[in-house]
Amino acid sequence: MKKILLSASFGLVLLLCACGSGEETGSEGASTADGEAVYRAASCFSCHGADLEGASGPDLTEVGARLSEDEIRTTIEDGTDVMPGGLVEDPAELDALVEWLAGKE
pLDDT digits (tens), the chain, 105 positions? 555 544 555 454 444 444 444 444 443 434 457 999 999 999 999 999 999 999 999 999 999 999 999 999 999 999 999 999 999 999 999 999 999 999 999
Assigned domain for 41 exists: yes
Question: Is 17 assigned to a binding site?
Answer: no
**19 labelled binding-site residue:** no
Q: Which domain holds residue 66?
A: 35-103
Q: Is residue 22 part of a domain?
A: no
pLDDT of residue 2: 52
> Is 10 inside any structural domain?
no
With CA atoms as reference, report the closest residue to 90 among 34, 51, 50.
Answer: 34
Total domain count, the chain:
1
The reply to whether 16 falls in a domain is: no
Q: Which long-range contacts (CB under 8 A, 24 or more apart) does 42-50 make?
A: 42/87, 42/88, 42/93, 42/97, 43/87, 44/87, 44/97, 47/83
Predicted local confidence at residue 25, as pLDDT: 41
Is residue 25 included in any domain, yes or no? Answer: no
Find the farthest-apart pair of alpha carbons in the chain and give their distance in angstroms, rounded. Answer: 67
Q: What is the pTM of this model?
A: 0.69
Query: Smallest Cα–Cα separation from 82: which of 51, 54, 40, 102?
Result: 54
Residue 48 lies inside a defined structural domain of this protein? yes
Q: Is residue 62 part of a domain?
A: yes
Q: Is residue 64 part of a domain?
A: yes
CATH number at residue 47: 1.10.760.10
